[in-house]
Amino acid sequence: MTVTIVGSQLGDEGKGALVDLWGGDADVVARYQGGDNAGHTVVEGGDEYKLSLVPSGAVRDKVGVLGNGCVVNPKTLFSEIDELRERGLDPDVRVARRAHVIMPYHRVLDGIEEEAKSDSDLDAGTTGRGIGPTYEDKAGRRGIRVGDLLDPDVLRDRLEYVVPQKRALAEDVFGIDAGEAFDVDAVFEEYREIGERLKTESMTVNAGEFLGSFLDDGDDVLFEGAQGTSIDIDHGIYPYVTSSNPTAGGAATGTGIGPTVVGRGEVVGIVKAYLSRVGTGPLPTELTGDDEDLADEIREKGGEFGTVTGRPRRIGWLDVPMLRHASRTNGFTGIAVNHVDVLAGLDEVKVGHSYDLDGEELFTMPATTERWGRCEPNLREFEPWGEVDWTAVAADGYDAIPENARAYLDYISTEVDAPIYAVGVGPDREETIELANPFDE
């Protein structure tokens, strides 16, 4: 069967922790979208692993697959694999031949397009990894796929078509001095060699066939979503979004495993007990103004600084209309709620239960970001819970969670109409309380 892990909010919900927990029961862990814009943290016995591209199952020695829906920067991939090897792991990562490659010019264009957009407040605060420009070329049918790196003649042909266009864009439209990143010969040499390494290490696969053969044998596959529902290119707060589909439908299109198979499995939404956001755009429940001290407290306690970029994350109260939107879009069969420990000890705990927009009460997100930005949250207050020994709570199980925190969890579960499968009370694998294992459901 399959279990799909999806971010319910704006990314960084703690997906890595749950992929690590349940990845232990899977045979393969596959990413289906995004690239090295992701930053997934796994903490095992105090050892922290920050993974951008290698699927989080690597920490459990599982086969990791980067599906066709991913955009792959092979240089990041190799350096991450090399680093993990230095730490004593032996990650077995396979890359879809249909996945698109992030090329050096994509990263340069990401930076200059963001800068150009910032004059009109349209910059998304990207991670600068070349994600958007690579997906653009995929949709424009001028991208370079992993399979193209394996055949120097094909690679050369593709580059000769696309690179001069990119050079003209950089120089004539954006007025920058295009360097080696836009030089056909230099790019060809470097990426031909990358193709050689991929070939030598037998890293490329036909993802659908590869994953399908595991499923045919009765094995279990975990799909690791990156980013989150509200930064999905279709269902998120466009244009402040990423360029792929983190939502559950992406697990099918991004791997070559049919939606009926994904749908017969479990789809688990990962929820952070409050909101964090790296990037720009509106955020109705953001803690600003008089609440800035509270935001600072949560940011420090929760370590809310970007895994990839180190940027301080913006902080807000839980946005419940956003969760209802996520539950419908993804069809959650269950949820995991993380960071319950971070809210402990606060004087007040609130959620945005609904929005007020032009005198109307809304229970889910409007379709345009302009309207969303005008929403006033109707806040609902919860009884706060105090600090406890969370490691001891994790060891004792769900009933040991403070009663007020359990009331908060019950409320979330009711609003998204999905049972709670796990609760995170700290970053370590041992600090996730499991109520149900989706592979047993």
Amino acid code (one letter) for 262: V
Mapped onto helix, strand or coil, the DSSP state of residue 365 is coil
Give the DSSP letter of residue 56: G
No. of H helices and E strands in the chain?
A: 15, 20
Per CB under 5 A, the list member of 14, 23, 34, 39 interacting with Mg ion is 39
Give the residue from 153, 333, 127 showing the smallest Cα distance to 243.
127
Say whether residue 11 binds ligand IMO (CB under 6 A): yes
For residue 180, CA distances in Å to 108, 169, 219 come to 11, 15, 45
Other Cβ atoms less than 10 A from the Cβ of 153: the count is 8
Query: Which helix (H) or strand (E) covers residue 272, if one does?
Result: strand 266-272
Any contact of residue 16 with ligand GDP (CB under 6 A)?
A: yes
CA neighbor of 372 nearest in space, from 288, 283, 278, 286: 283
Phi first, then psi: what are they for 8, rounded to 5°?
-90, -15
Stretch that binds ligand IMO, among 35-43, 95-103, 333-341, 351-359 (CB under 6 A): 35-43
Q: Which of 36, 40, 123, 325 is catalytic?
A: 40
Q: Longest C-alpha distance within the chain, in Å? A: 66
Binding mask 95-134 for ligand IMO (x = CB under 6 A): -----------------------------xxxx-x-xx--
Residue from 69, 51, 20, 40 nearest 246 by CA = 69
Site residues for ligand GDP, 284-313, by CB under 6 A, read: 302-303, 307
Which of 12, 20, 123, 220 is close enough to bind ligand GDP by CB under 6 A?
12
321 binds, among Mg ion, ligand IMO, ligand GDP, none (CB under 5 to 8 A by kind): none
Q: Which is nearer to ligand IMO, 322 or 405 (CB)?
A: 322
The vertex-97 CA angle with 95 and 101, nearest 5°, equals 80
Minimum CB distance to Mg ion, residue 187 (Å): 29
Closer of 356 and 434 to ligand GDP (Cβ): 434
Our finding on whether 280 is near Mg ion (CB under 5 A) is no
334-338/40-44 β-pairing: unpaired
Subset of residues 222 to 261 that bind ligand IMO, contact rule: CB under 6 A: 226-228, 231, 240, 242-243
Q: Is the Cβ of residue 81 or residue 273 nearer to ligand GDP in the bound state?
A: 273
Work out whether 55 is an interface residue with ligand GDP (CB under 6 A): no
Sequence-ordered list of residues with C-beta below 8 angstroms from that of 112, at least 6 positions apart, any chain:
170, 174, 176
The one among 6, 43, 233, 422 contacting ligand GDP by CB under 6 A:
43
* 60 lies in the binding site for ligand GDP (CB under 6 A): no
Interaction of residue 279 with ligand IMO, rule CB under 6 A: yes
The long-range contacts involving 283-286, CB below 8 angstroms and separated by at least 24 positions, are: 283/314, 283/316, 284/316, 284/319, 284/352, 284/355, 284/372, 284/373, 284/375, 284/376, 284/377, 285/316, 285/317, 285/318, 285/319, 285/351, 285/352, 285/377, 285/379, 286/314, 286/315, 286/316
| # residues contacting ligand GDP (CB under 6 A) | 23
In the annotation, is 106 catalytic?
no
CB-side neighbour CA atoms (13 Å) of 146: 27
What is the 8-class DSSP label of residue 123?
A: -
- Least distance (Å) between residue 203 CB and ligand GDP: 23
100 is catalytic: no
CB of 416 to ligand GDP, least distance (A): 17
Indicate whether 339 belongs to the interface with ligand GDP (CB under 6 A).
yes
The binder of 393, among ligand IMO, Mg ion, ligand GDP, none, by C-beta within 5 to 8 A per type, is none
Interface of this chain with ligand IMO, residues 62 to 91, rule: CB under 6 A:
none
Q: Which stretch binds ligand GDP (CB under 6 A): 11-19, 114-122, 190-198, 373-381?
A: 11-19
Q: Residue 68 or 338: which CB sits closer to ligand IMO?
A: 338
Considering the rule CB under 5 A, would residue 20 count as an interface residue with Mg ion?
no
10 or 343: CB nearest ligand IMO? 10
39 counts as binding ligand IMO under rule CB under 6 A: yes
Terminal Cα-to-Cα distance of the chain (whole angstroms): 10
Site residues for ligand GDP per CB under 6 A: 7, 11-17, 39-41, 43, 302-303, 307, 338-339, 341-342, 424-427
Site residues for ligand IMO per CB under 6 A: 7, 10-12, 37-40, 124-127, 129, 131-132, 226-228, 231, 240, 242-243, 278-279, 307
The residues annotated as belonging to the active site are: 12, 40
